[in-house]
Amino acid sequence: MLRRKFLKLSGLGALVVAAPTAGFASISLKDATVGSIINEFDYLQLDKKGVEQFVDDFLAYNFWNGSFKHTLVMRAIYTTKTKSDRSVSLFKTNMLKTLADTYLLSTDFFSNNMDENKPLKYMGLYSPHLKPCANPFSFIHYPAVVS
Amino acid sequence: MKQQNYDLIVVGTGFASTFFLKKYLSKASKSAKILVLERGHLFPHAERLKEKRRESTPFAKLNDHSHNTFINNNPEKIWEFQAGFGGSSNCWFGCTPRFMPSDFKMKSLYGVANDWPVQYDELDSYYDQVEEAMSISGPEETPYPRSKPYPQPAHAFNTVDVLLKKKYGNLYINQPTARAKVPVNGRGSCCVSAECSVCPVNAKFTIENSNLGVYEDPRIELVYGSQVFGLELEQNMVRKVNYIKDGKEHHASAEVFALGANAIFNAHILLNSGDTSRLTGKGLGEQYGLQALVYLDNLANFGGGTWVSGNGYMLYDGNHRKDYAACLMESNNAPFLRLEKGKWRDIASFRMIFEDLPSEQNYVAPTADLMKPEVNFKGPSAYTLKAVEQMKQKLPEVLACLPIEKIEFQKPFASEAHIMGTTRMSESPEEGVVDKHLIHHKYRNLFVLGSSTFTTFTPANPTLTLSALSLYAADKSF
Ligand SMILES: Cc1cc2nc3c(=O)[nH]c(=O)nc-3n(C[C@H](O)[C@H](O)[C@H](O)COP(=O)(O)OP(=O)(O)OC[C@H]3O[C@@H](n4cnc5c(N)ncnc54)[C@H](O)[C@@H]3O)c2cc1C
Ligand code: SF4
């Protein structure tokens, strides 16, 4: 599916375009977090429901929810369309990297051999204490192949 | 307290105390009476898992948080440990390489700091015993000599480890580790969850899952919630231990005493007691570490069998130690990613760990609060900082067998979580605090256990060695 068409169908395009024009202070942590993931992975095929469910689970599990600093920074990341590799702030980069890593690890991306053309499916929050032995790079999932 | 007088009183229930007790119990009479005083409580692994899963547990608040137990005069420097039954065995990561024989001879080989009064050969069989007790997984060949194979087979290498092994032979090994490869004593097998501080499958060795039978022994009376703050010293002997339990002061006497409270509190207890040794409390330190991220060109790095799968010794030993510190490499398998299209796992991550030298500028001191020491730390030595710069220059060459795009060095960690050096071991009382059997040079019925006794701070992780020293000290002394 073409990316533009996918965004339109899933409703993600509207979110990406609409939010930066809204008042900064009115953007919820959840919207900012969802938007930042979509922005970071604008070259992957994301599913909106999955991203939203991931963000609900992620925020329920970690301490960002209720943290003024994290809410502010996440809004800033979202509204300025910051990407993890293009931020001058280490804190911003780390926050976005944690979020983006956790999101990808929570999808079927790695079990689909990192196929960037396949739509991603949210499989449940990646957390070794909720689901041990799920590290997708370990010997359980991949042997160390060297030619 | 059931008795007035004990044969042995031990402070703390971490590795140092537990391995000392293990050997002592194997030699003591059936009627021996041993008191163990532990400042904290048991926080069982199953309850720790609940806390990690954000479930409530009544155990979570039982033990003091380490940061509240001392005054840190340099907030940029962190000192990591956990108080409570089992000490930091509850949160350690289980990396257990041995020291190199040269680590014990820094002065005679490299003219640096001091030699240890105990040498590698004397510890070899005690290393074997600890490795057996912890069911260590490790490789067939190592850069240090061994008289026996490791009890468990090695964990799998990742892609990058395989290439480095091919190039460097026994200078690059599967990390010896207390993260089990094969299920043992109720421990699971490590499956690379990389959350070893509280292992989700209980694979790493802890005092709680140790199966050593120490605290179940009827000769031992273990009293929780008892914080020792001092010893009563009389001439060259310790007569009593003083502690607070339930807000009240208590005293207990014994023939022999052993402190296993870690390098901050061993020194604090001695200083509170009026120990007049010039070096007690001085020389606090640990290793210095930073992460090197190696971006690879079209090589995906997969397949590691445990959190840290490889140890590299390429920058460790040699004549350079006359001039700058040894560095140990750890190859990591946490699920880190490269957030770039098509290059998701074309990356390797190495922790570069540097030895340091004890300095009198870094020390533990008593405060007006009898229960809280202060910790003063000026920073790592020039010897260590020079090694960091050397490493940055040499690493591209060391890793030349890998298709490297770029190497990124991260900010040094605020802690390596290894606290050492405040009651150092030496031949003479002028150069240290305890002798080669970990007996205080002045107070001859007092053992001081753990890494506070380390003469120098090799880059290798300390716990295997401090546990072997506890076995050695008890074996040679009773
Ligand atoms: C996060 C983390 C990861 C680590 N990973 C590794 C690793 O991979 N490999 C490695 O070799 N090492 C590692 N370490 C270090 C390792 O945990 C320590 O070297 C080891 O725990 C020291 O053992 P110990 O028995 O001397 O002291 P501790 O484990 O600190 O035990 C001290 C005991 O004394 C008790 N105590 C303290 N003060 C008093 C008092 N005043 N009165 C009564 N009781 C007292 C404490 O409650 C505790 O039971 C790690 C440490 C941390 C924090
Ligand atoms: S790597 Fe995972 S399974 Fe292995 S000890 Fe650590 S947490 Fe446990």
Domain of B234, in residue numbers:
5-137+193-284+417-477
Let me know if residue A7 belongs to a domain: no
- Domain with residue B435: its CATH number is 3.50.50.60
B364 within a domain of the structure (yes/no) = no
| Domain annotation covers residue B153 | no
Does residue B449 form part of some domain? yes
Query: Is there a contact between A144 and B162 if contact means CB atoms under 8 Å apart?
Result: yes
- Nearest Cα residue to B77 out of B375, B292, B353: B375
User: Average pLDDT of B268-280?
Assistant: 97
Domain assignment present for residue A12? The answer is: no
**Cβ–Cβ under 8 Å, residues B152 and B138:** yes
Q: Is A119 within a domain?
A: yes
ipTM attached to this prediction: 0.82
- Among B2-11, B47-56, B229-238, the minimum mean pLDDT is found in B2-11
Say if CB B407 and CB B394 are below 8 A apart: no
Decide if A1 is inside a domain. Answer: no
Asked if residue B177 is part of any domain, the answer here is no
Contacts (Cβ under 8 Å, ≥6 apart) of B7: B28, B32, B33, B34, B254, B255, B256
3-state secondary structure of A146: coil
Q: Give the mean pLDDT of B255-262.
A: 98
Rounded CA separation B48/B54 (Å)? 10
List beta partners, residue B174: B310
CB-CB contact of B285 with B453 (8 Å): no
A61, A85, A143 member nearest B54 (Cβ): A61
A contact set with B (CB within 8 A): 40, 43, 61, 84-85, 97, 100-101, 104-105, 110, 114, 116, 126, 128-130, 132-146
**Nearest by CB: A138 against B192, B341, B342:** B192
Q: Is residue B211 part of a domain?
A: yes
* B305 domain-assigned: no
Provide the number of structural domains found in chain B.
Answer: 1
Residue burial B57-89, b: 16+ Cβ < 10 Å; e: rest: bebeebbeebeebbeeeeeebebbbbbbbbbbb
Do the domain assignments include residue A86? yes
CA B64 to ligand 1 centroid distance, Å: 14
Decide if pLDDT at B149 tops 90.
yes
* pLDDT tens digits, A101-134: 999 999 999 989 899 999 999 999 999 999 999 8
**Residue B233 lies inside a defined structural domain of this protein:** yes
Considering the domain boundaries, does residue A4 fall inside one?
Answer: no
H-type alpha helices, B38-97 = 45-52
Q: Which domain holds residue A82?
A: 28-136
Place of tokens 């992460």: B291
Residue A19 counted as domain residue: no
B55: contact with A, CB 8 A cutoff: no
pLDDT at A89: 77
Compute the count of residue pairs across chains A and B with CB atoms less than 8 Å apart. 95
Q: How far is CA B141 from the centre of its chain?
A: 23
The answer to whether position A120 is within a domain reads: yes
CA distances from B202 to A129, B86, B270, B473 (A): 11, 15, 36, 30
Q: What is the pLDDT of residues A127-144, one digit of tens each?
A: 999 999 988 888 887 765
Ranges of chain A whose pLDDT falls below 50: 1-19, 147
Q: How many Å apart are CA A126 and CA B272, to the nearest integer?
A: 48
A2 exposure class (CB count in 10 Å sphere: 0-12, 13-18, 19+): exposed
Nearest alpha carbon to residue B373 among B284, B258, B264, B283: B264
- Could you give the number of structural domains in chain A? 1
